[in-house]
Amino acid sequence: MNSGENSDILDKKTNDKKNVPVLVITYFVVIIFICMFAYIIVFMVRDSRTFIANSYNGRQSLYAEKIKKGSIISSDGNVLAETLTDDDGNEYRNYPYSNVFAHVVGYDSNGQAGLEMSSAYYLLTSNQNIITQTYNKLRNEKSLGNNVISTLNTTLQSTAYDALGYNDGAVVVMEPDTGKILAMVSKPDFDPNYIDSAIEEAQDTDSSYLLNRATQGLYPPGSTFKVLTALEYIHENSNYQKYSYECEGEDIFDGVQIHCSDYAVHGTVDLADSLAKSCNTSFANIGMKLNKQSYKDLCEKFLFNKDLPYDGYYRKSVFELNATSDDSEIPQTAIGQGDTLITPLHSAMIMSTIANGGVMMSPYLIDRIETCDGNLVKTFKPNTYGKIISASDARLLKDLMLGVTSYGTASDAFADCSYTIAGKTGTAEFNDNMDSHSWFVGFSNVDDPDIVVCVIVENASSTGASAKYIARQLFDAYYNYVK
């Protein structure tokens, strides 16, 4: 190799070294550009609707200048929210059912809530034909926004509202195999037609009646939680059918005194009897035999301490027990007391998972979007969150919960039904005076479940109300008027 060739090679190496920083910067710029482009696509496809639906987003006002906000309609064709115009030409939102759909439909003034907020993107978008929209622009008139057809059923919502009566609490009704929410009631409530005064009164009295208790109310689950305690025991003990316990009405576990409701003595009980009769001492005994970390893992599979696959506002349910917890925390936890907290929506989702053969569906409130003329724009389909437990586990729990309604704590409410019911009652103490809430959560037509109903009645020990009788009214309404 001559000196000239050596010189060319050296020059090439030198130039390559000089080009390295340029190439690094070039690649960096290209990567940044790709990331920005990807973000724009994701935002337009997925996040723009959520961004526009934010009540603090000023773009809503710009949309409202061009679009007359569409209506929210029930699945059975009734208008739940609409835009009207007063004598002076001012637009306002009207809620024909007043308080009945207050929390789930929400309001569109002084901020937003409920479907009014989460579906704002669709309501403020118009899919009228292009000729009409062009004509409206030329005349400086608004085009008509799309209508949101919800999953809510007017009959079930009204039944839930009336059945809850003057009691504080919440009701959730949903289809276990789709995740459609058919009814969602929270009390105390308000009239969204007078939201200005409602907000002012809430601020003056420090009231929580603007809170949607169905999704944001955290309560001790009481004995409804025994379903998960029983499932963990089944997982850890292949001979669970041989379980036996002698209930004497009260007992002490690791220094913690546990008593059954009204100190009832249940005698010798197996696992099925323990759940059917809601025997606290037996379930405290079961809890003491469980692996604490496995117990926690099961609860987190059911989304305790986790985000729910739900688009609206909600609070996470809480399960505190873990491998390092003191054994004295187990007895109360096993019977649904202690530090465990759950929302009614989450409770309905857990029961829906069992009803649906172990598969959890994402709950949703919007069925489809239509133009003002009734033409289909978009359909929302059921979304599977995931397989939580096996079908065989789900079948076992169904069989156990049939005992609750056939000869256990809910048999008086469902004994004469024309349909089958599997479920669980609950009495959740919330203070040292042993005042308690009343729970019921269950599903109908057990072999091929139709609906899940979850009811909580706050401070039922003082009001005398019972969640299981409220649930019965909802099941009856479904089979008599809806299905």
Q: Which residues pair with 457 in a beta bridge?
A: 169, 438
In a domain, 96, yes or no: no
Instruction: Report pLDDT for 22.
Output: 58
Instruction: Report pLDDT for 3.
Output: 55
Instruction: Report pLDDT for 192.
Output: 97
Mean pLDDT, the chain, rounded, equals: 90
Which residues, including other chains, have CB under 8 Å from residue 106's CB and lie 6 or more apart? Answer: 112, 113, 114, 115, 116, 117, 192
Instruction: Report pLDDT for 40.
Output: 44
- Copy the structure tokens of residue 18: 């000089």
- Copy the structure tokens of residue 416: 């004469």
Asked if pLDDT for residue 84 goes beyond 80, the answer is yes
3-class DSSP assignment, residue 348: helix
In a domain, 395, yes or no: yes
Instruction: Report pLDDT for 352.
Output: 98
Instruction: Report pLDDT for 10.
Output: 52
3-class DSSP assignment, residue 386: strand
In a domain, 342, yes or no: yes
In a domain, 166, yes or no: no
CATH of the domain at 219: 3.40.710.10
Q: Count CB atoms within 10 A of the CB of residue 86.
A: 8
Nearest Cα residue to 114 out of 53, 49, 172, 171:
53
Ranges 28-42, 153-167, 221-235, 350-364: which has the least confidence: 28-42
Instruction: Give the distance, in angstroms, between the CA of residue 117 and the centroid of all CA atoms in the same chain.
Output: 17
C-alpha span between 70 and 63 (Å, rounded): 12
Q: Where are the beta strands (DSSP E) in 286-382?
A: 359-361, 366-370, 376-379
Ranges 30-44, 116-130, 292-306: which has the least confidence: 30-44
Question: What is the number of domains present in the chain?
Answer: 2
3-class DSSP assignment, residue 92: strand
Which residues, including other chains, have CB under 8 Å from residue 113's CB and lie 6 or more apart? Answer: 103, 106, 107, 210, 212, 313
Q: How confident is the model at residue 7 (pLDDT cuts 50, 70, 90)?
A: low
C-alpha span between 261 and 151 (Å, rounded): 38
pTM: 0.88
- Pick the residue with more confidence: 54 or 402? 402
Instruction: Report pLDDT for 41.
Output: 47
pLDDT (tens digit per residue) in 92-111: 999 999 999 999 999 998 88
* Spatial contact of 349 and 228, defined as CB atoms under 8 Å apart: no
In a domain, 257, yes or no: yes
Residue 185 vs residues 10, 151, 168, 307: alpha-carbon distances, Å = 80, 14, 10, 22
* Spatial contact of 145 and 126, defined as CB atoms under 8 Å apart: yes
* Spatial contact of 425 and 404, defined as CB atoms under 8 Å apart: yes
Instruction: Report pLDDT for 158.
Output: 98
In a domain, 48, yes or no: yes
Q: How confident is the model at residue 308 (pLDDT cuts 50, 70, 90)?
A: very high
Tell me 481's DSSP state.
I
pLDDT (tens digit per residue) in 134-177: 777 777 889 899 999 999 999 999 999 999 999 999 999 999 99
C-alpha span between 438 and 457 (Å, rounded): 5
Q: What is the mean pLDDT of residues 60-64?
A: 64
Q: What is the mean pLDDT of residues 294-302?
A: 98
3-class DSSP assignment, residue 286: helix
- Copy the structure tokens of residue 289: 């035999």
pLDDT (tens digit per residue) in 176-221: 999 999 999 999 999 999 999 988 888 877 778 899 999 999 999 9
- Copy the structure tokens of residue 274: 């323990």
Asked if pLDDT for residue 5 goes beyond 60, the answer is no
- Copy the structure tokens of residue 483: 């299905």
Q: Where are the beta strands (DSSP E) in 410-476?
A: 421-429, 436-444, 452-457
Instruction: Report pLDDT for 18.
Output: 56
In a domain, 98, yes or no: no
* Spatial contact of 428 and 222, defined as CB atoms under 8 Å apart: yes
Q: Which of the listed residues 35, 53, 71 is the one where a domain comes to its end?
A: 53
Residue type, 435: D
Q: How confident is the model at residue 51 (pLDDT cuts 50, 70, 90)?
A: very low
Asked if pLDDT for residue 4 goes beyond 90, the answer is no
Q: How confident is the model at residue 305 (pLDDT cuts 50, 70, 90)?
A: very high
Instruction: Report pLDDT for 205.
Output: 77
Q: Which of the listed residues 30, 53, 76 is the one where a domain comes to its end?
A: 53
In a domain, 36, yes or no: yes
Which residues, including other chains, have CB under 8 Å from residue 71's CB and lie 6 or more apart? Answer: 79, 80, 81, 82, 83, 123, 147, 148
Ranges 6-15, 211-220, 222-231: which has the least confidence: 6-15
Asked if pLDDT for residue 43 goes beyond 50, the answer is no
* Spatial contact of 278 and 226, defined as CB atoms under 8 Å apart: yes
Q: Is the dihedral of CA 470, 471, 473, 477 positive or negative?
A: positive
Domain, as residue range, for 23: 1-53
C-alpha span between 350 and 362 (Å, rounded): 11
DSSP string, 41-80: HHIIIIIHHHHHH-TT-THHHHHHHHEE---EE-TTS-EE
